[in-house]
Amino acid sequence: MPSINVNGEKRDYSGDSAMPLLWFLRDELNLTGTKYGCGAGVCGACTVHVDGVAVRSCQTTAAEVTGKSVTTIEGLDGNGEHPVQKAWREVNVPQCGFCQAGQIMQAASLLAKNKAPTDDQIVEEMSGNICRCGCYQRIHDAVRLAAGGV
């Protein structure tokens, strides 16, 4: 049976091979921190890491990540103390909060590959993640703040 490593645990996968990872995580593993916002790869609410890199879980099939390592917001840090999460709380980023798991995963992926991103690089990396509440100013500030601590 194909298996996926999710947040450090081996999870067997037996369903439709075309099922997006998003629904495998949410409906089969009950990891509901990863959100559905558009299903079309254009909002970023469903962002998770595959082998440490941000991907849209609504556009990635469960089959595609067989044998790979998936990290969701629940697994980013055991205590919720990842520098990005801490920065998010310090800056009081969220309003409704719905987009924030995706934003945080995107930002953590950016900082993992680029410890000191420029403002333009932050904008480029984060522009795929919509926040309808309009927290962009604080998201930008929080990424900058976290960059000091990653």
Q: How far is Cα 2 from Cα 17, in angstroms, rounded to an integer? A: 10
Q: Does 19 bind ligand FES (CB under 6 A)?
A: no
Taking the mean position of all CA atoms in its chain, how far away is CA 49?
6
> Residue 50 forms beta bridges with which residues?
53, 70
Helix axes 100-113, 119-126, angle to 10 degrees: 130
Q: Does 44 bind ligand FES (CB under 6 A)?
A: yes
Question: Which one of 43, 55, 104, 107 is in contact with ligand FES (CB under 6 A)?
Answer: 43
Q: How far is Cα 63 from Cα 106, in angstroms, rounded to an integer? A: 22
Q: Does 50 bind another protein (CB under 8 A)?
A: no
Binding site for ligand FES (CB under 6 A): 36-39, 41-46, 56, 58, 94-100, 131-133, 135
Contact set with another protein (CB under 8 A)? 15-16, 19-20, 23, 26-28, 30-40, 42-43, 45, 72-74, 76, 80, 85, 88-89, 92, 94-101, 104, 122-124, 126-140
